[in-house]
Structure 1
Amino acid sequence: MIRFGIIGLGKIAARFAQDLTLHPKAKLQAVASRNGRKAQQFADTYSAARHYDSYEKLLADPKVDVVYIATPNHLHFTHTMQSLEAGKHVICEKPFALEAAQVRKMINKAKSKQRFLMEALWTRFIPATEKVLELIDEGVLGELQSVRADFGFAASQDPNGRLFNRALGGGSLLDIGIYPVYLSYLLLGKPEAIHAEAKMHYTGVDSNCHIELTYADGKSAILESSFLETTPTEAIIEGTQGGIYMHPRFHHCEKLSLEQGGALKEIEVPCVGLGYYHEIDEVISCLEAGKLESAKMSHKDSLALIELLDAVRSLIGLQY
């Protein structure tokens, strides 16, 4: 049984905790919030063995094996480093940190402490993503040519909310643009050239972002993120012999459409629970095998992803 602790008890943490109850080898050992009452309510809802009114108390709990960090973006680095220093294994919500320099320090700390560390980017672990990779590996699409992906919704324009607050690591790129960017990296690798433009909010973060990636072999990716409007939130993957459509919302979709020679095939790829079950299962499998990183979401992958995001931020003038 792997005993989990959760730091930061917002909406994502609640979904994660709900899926945690579905795994036969997982136990929610402890939860922590700066608000003690919130921690108690969360613990009661998701049957956590213990609840704490400080993160430090959770990290001192010897019965917590791995910490899931679901605090706001700007705190991911600090809480990951604190958790590793306390001797805990760590999975941290995306974005892993605000910049590549922080991610490198996190990786180095995990290695020095001999602790497991993984970015909790659930898209990588869902059945739909696994199926897409399987089809590509089988050569069903021929030679991969392009990826188009978007993610957008009309967000509340609250300058103090986490989405538009620069001090909290806000902006569409890191919050939702990371999903299209990650999909392009997963399927096409690192680009040769990056073009990006954005509409900036008066708080200094991007309200929307348009990214074009080109590769040495002629492959390309067009990616969009937006807090200004609801977009299809779909992904279209094209090859020389066919294409795959990842249905909305593509980052946790449960249906694919495969096109080959004018014929269309629908593929159902349901998630277990809310979709977080699959990354939980990966963490448990890795820990049981004594691994310090996941082959599916490796340290190298997280570093490459944040470097891509850093490059885009530089082009659009987004600084933290």
Structure 2
Amino acid sequence: MTSSDRPIRWGILATGGIAAAFTEDLLAVPGAEVAAVASRTEPAARAFADRFGIPRAYGSWAELAADPEVDVVYVATPHTAHHDATTLMLEAGKAVLCEKPFTLNTRQAEQLVATARARQRFLMEAMWMYFNPVVRRVVELVRGGAIGEVRAVHADFGFPAPPDPTSRLLDPAAGGGALLDLGVYPVSFAHLLLGEPERIEAVATLTPEGVDEHTAVVLGHAGGALSLLSCSLVAGYGQRASVHGSTGRIELPTDFFHATSFVLHRDGGTAERFTLDRGPGHGLGLEAAEVVRCLRAGLTESPLVPLDGSLAVMRTLDTVRARIGVHYPGE
């Protein structure tokens, strides 16, 4: 996989919407080749393969794991299956890019990291937000002192989900609720800027099924900084975020996790607007390109999405769930 004279060969595991969006972007990534796709049924895999011109389609995860012509697998299953699917691929010798949230809970995430490290296989959580040019520039400015000492991070992700009693978002057995599907973005944004918190408080409104539909989180970080975060399946927030420092602030006015612009306000100065191109497609190709780069370099994890960072986010999510009383079957 470190040879530069052939493409990195990808397998796609699952055929849902995020798998389709990722594959569409992956086809445009230099040095990448989509070699195979797998689903729980062969017809679903074949339809996906025909749609994207993928040469091999499998009706089981095991067949994809056994394919010697696949270097890395993108795991795009629902997050309740991330642990089992990723473990299977790692144990078969594949590198893995696993969708977020990394797993259902910290225990599962720790098992994946241990497996990857023991087998010296590449593993990365697919937190595409970390590769967004706007987010990376914001981090660069903050760490460079553009707004002084960071005192607070605000981030919200919410939309009114269509009422559907059969939706996985309402199903505890499917890891439902706002926190893991939407809240992972604000939590990850706060971790990126301020690190793992020292104190975690949360309050939520739960559905009759026992998952959170509206959650607010306060994180207390070293040095006194606070993160004020929320996620919702019943309210539209606009997906805004901001970073507040001792000498200014940065505002991402909408869709902060894949933004194209932000505004820097320095105390006493004129607001500066930055617009950055996130590239073609959906923006998912940036994380795929990082996987290709890491595999060519012989790395087993990305410095931009380190495994310890993914574990830290999972610890925060677990604590939030404990605070609001959301538990999944089998935990």
Q: What is the CA-CA distance between 1:183 and the residue it aligns to? A: 0.5
Q: Which amino acid aligns with 1:168?
A: A
Q: Which residue of 1 aligns with 2:190?
A: 184
Q: What is the CA-CA distance between 1:11 and the residue it aligns to? A: 0.6
Query: Structure 1 residues 237-246 or 33-42, which shifts more?
Result: 33-42
Q: What is the CA-CA distance between 1:137 and the residue it aligns to? A: 2.2
In the TM superposition, what whole-angstrom CA distance separates every residue of 1:83-106 from its partner, at most 9, and x where no partner exists?
A: 111111001001111111111110
Q: Distance in 1 between matches of 2:302 and 2:120?
A: 14
The partner residue of 2:157 within 151, 161, 164 is 151
The partner residue of 1:295 within 297, 300, 303 is 303
Q: Secondary structure at the match of 1:256?
A: strand
Q: Which amino acid aligns with 1:116?
A: F
Q: Distance in 2 between matches of 1:247 and 1:26?
A: 34
Q: Distance in 2 between matches of 1:131 and 1:179?
A: 17
Q: Distance in 2 between matches of 1:31 and 1:216?
A: 44
1:92-111 aligned at under 5 Å gives the runs: 92-111=98-117
2:272 is equivalent to residue 281 of structure 1: no
Q: How many residues align?
A: 320
Q: Which residue of 2 aligns with 1:264?
A: 271
Contact 2:30 2:289 in 1 (8 A): no
Q: Which amino acid aligns with 1:313?
A: R
The partner residue of 1:314 within 313, 317, 322 is 322
2:169 is equivalent to residue 169 of structure 1: no
2:54 is equivalent to residue 54 of structure 1: no
Contact 2:132 2:283 in 1 (8 A): yes
Q: Distance in 2 between matches of 1:83 and 1:247?
A: 39
Contact 1:73 1:170 in 2 (8 A): no
Q: Distance in 1 between matches of 2:146 and 2:300?
A: 33
Contact 1:157 1:164 in 2 (8 A): no
| Backbone CA RMSD of aligned residues | 1.1
Contact 1:163 1:171 in 2 (8 A): yes
Q: Distance in 2 between matches of 1:116 and 1:86?
A: 12
Query: Structure 1 residues 208-217 or 308-317, which shifts more?
Result: 208-217
TM-score if structure 1 supplies the norm length? 0.98
Percent identical pairs in the alignment equals 43
Q: Which residue of 2 aligns with 1:18?
A: 24
Q: What is the CA-CA distance between 1:126 and the residue it aligns to? A: 1.1
TM-score if structure 2 supplies the norm length? 0.94
2:34 is equivalent to residue 28 of structure 1: yes
Q: Which residue of 2 aligns with 1:228?
A: 234
Unaligned stretches of 5+ residues in structure 2: 1-6
In the TM superposition, what whole-angstrom CA distance separates every residue of 1:228-282 from its partner, at most 9, and x where no partner exists?
A: 1211211011111111111311111111111112411111122122110110111
Q: Distance in 1 between matches of 2:127 and 2:182?
A: 11
In the TM superposition, what whole-angstrom CA distance separates every residue of 1:71-120 from its partner, at most 9, and x where no partner exists?
A: 01110001011111111100100111111111111011111111100000
Q: Secondary structure at the match of 1:217?
A: helix
Q: Distance in 1 between matches of 2:153 and 2:143?
A: 16
Q: Secondary structure at the match of 1:23?
A: coil
Q: Which amino acid aligns with 1:28?
A: V
Unaligned stretches of 5+ residues in structure 1: none
The partner residue of 1:65 within 65, 68, 71 is 71
Q: Distance in 2 between matches of 1:137 and 1:172?
A: 30
Q: Which residue of 2 aligns with 1:3?
A: 9
2:148 is equivalent to residue 142 of structure 1: yes
Q: Secondary structure at the match of 2:33?
A: strand
Contact 1:84 1:109 in 2 (8 A): yes
Q: Distance in 2 between matches of 1:27 and 1:172?
A: 34
Q: Distance in 2 between matches of 1:220 and 1:263?
A: 26
Q: Distance in 2 between matches of 1:238 and 1:207?
A: 27
